[in-house]
Structure 1
Amino acid sequence: MRVKIYIEGGGDSAYLDERFREGWTAFFERAGLDNRMPRPVRGKGRTQTFDLYRTPVRNRRPDELPLLLVDSESLPAQECSPWQHLKARPEDNWDKPEGAGDDDAFLMICCMETWFIADRVALQRFFGQHWRENGIPKWETLEAISKEQVLKALNSASVVDPVDTRRVHPRSSCLPRSILQRSRKGARPQQSY
C-alpha cells in the first residue's frame, strides 16, 4: 500500500517544494516510519490542499491511501473527529469526501507559529537582544493553545519599543521592512540597524 499525505503548507518555488518534502520525510523517518514511508505532497494553501486530496479519493486506486493533514486553525471541541472539526468550522465547512475513511484526516496544531514557540532557543538566537523570553508563558501542552494566544505571545516577546529603538538606531523605521524582506529570502536579520 502506497500512502500519500497531502499536507497544508509550503512555498511557491521548486526549491521550497523540495525543502518541504525533505523536512516531512525526515520527520516521518524519525517517527519510525522509514520502512512504511508516506509520500508527502505539498498542498500550499489550505483549500488547495483539500482540493488536491479529494482528487485521489475520488479516483481511488486499490494500492494507494490518500491522507489529509491541515492546521486545525482553532481548537477542536472535545471528542470531535478531524472531519467533524473541518465541517464545523464556518471558514472550511468541508464534507468528508465520499470514499474517504473516518481516520484519513489529521489535524496539526492551530497555527504553524506554535512550532516556533516549541524552540525557544532558536527564537532567542534569531531575535537576539530583541527577544523577551518572559513574553511567552510556560505552556504545558502547546496543542491546547489557541491561535490568538500564540500570536499574542509571539508579538509580546518580540516587539521592540520604537522610541528606544529610534534613539539607538535612527534609521530604525526601515527595520520592519528589512526583516520582512530578509525573512522572505530566508536570511537572518542583521543586528546593525
Structure 2
Amino acid sequence: MSDVWIYVEGGGGKDSKDHLRQAFGQFLSGPRVAAREQRIRWRIVLCGSREQTYRMFQHRLQTQPDPGPVFLLVDADRPVSGTPREHLSGGETRWDLSFAGDRQCHLMVQVMESWFLADQAALVAFYGREFAAAQLSNRANVEEIPKQQVYESLDRATRNTRKGKYDKADHAPQILKNLDPERVRARAPHCNRLFEDLLKAIA
C-alpha cells in the first residue's frame, strides 16, 4: 500500500511545524503504529494556514497518479452541520472539494483546542495545581462549545499558573502529545471519525 498522508492545519516556522508534527504523531499513535506494523509509512504534513493546507491536499490528489490514502485535517472554526466536506464547501470557506472523497475530509471541531477540553487531566498535568479546571465547560460533547468560549476559558483557567496564560505556539504541542486519545474520542465525535477512517485506510 502507498504511504498515508495527513495534511494538517497549523504551525508557523520550521521549528513550530516540527513540534506540532511530532505532537500529532504521538496523539495519533494508535493508527500510526498499526500502519508501521504493515510497513506503511506515515506522513503528517503541517502546512501552516488553513488555505495552504487545502492547497497542499489538493495538489497531492490532483497531481499524483497514485496518491494513496490522503487526508485533510483543519479547524472547523464554527459549528458543523452536515459532513466535513459539506462544511468546507459552504459557508465562508467555499472550497472546491469535488476531487476528494467525503471520508478524506476531517475537522477539529470547533478548533484543535476543543480536544484539550476533552481531557482536563492532561491540562492539569501540564499546568500544575494552579490550573483552574472549574473555568472549563463540562459539556459532554466539546464540539458544541463555541470557538471563542474555548479560547476564553483556557485563558481564565491558565492565567495564574506558573507557565502563564495558554500560548498556542509554546503550549499546544506539549498538551496535544499528552492527551488521552480515548478520552478525546469519547467527547469529540469528529475526532473519533478521524481515528476510524485512518484505521480503515490501513486495514
Letter in 1 for 2:11: G
Distance 2:26 2:127 in 1: 26
Partner of 2:76: 72
Partner of 1:148: 148
Partner of 1:191: none
1:147 deviation in Å? 0.9
Letter in 1 for 2:88: L
Return 142-151 or 66-75, whichever deviates more: 142-151
Kept in 2, the 8 Å contact 1:28–1:37? The answer is no
TM-score by length of 2: 0.66
Partner of 2:4: 3
Identity rate, percent: 27
Partner of 2:83: 81
Letter in 1 for 2:96: D
Distance 1:2 1:55 in 2: 16
Query: Which fold has the larger relative contact order, with Cα–Cα distance below 8 Å and residues 6 or more apart in sequence?
Result: 2
Aligned length: 165
Give ranges in structure 2 of 5+ residues lacking alignment: 172-203
Distance 1:33 1:2, change over 3 A: closer
Q: CA RMSD in A?
A: 3.0
Kept in 1, the 8 Å contact 2:79–2:146? The answer is yes
Partner of 2:54: 50
Letter in 2 for 1:44: G
Distance 1:28 1:62 in 2: 24
Kept in 1, the 8 Å contact 2:16–2:169? The answer is no
Greater Rg over alpha carbons, structure: 1
Partner of 2:175: none
Partner of 1:133: 133
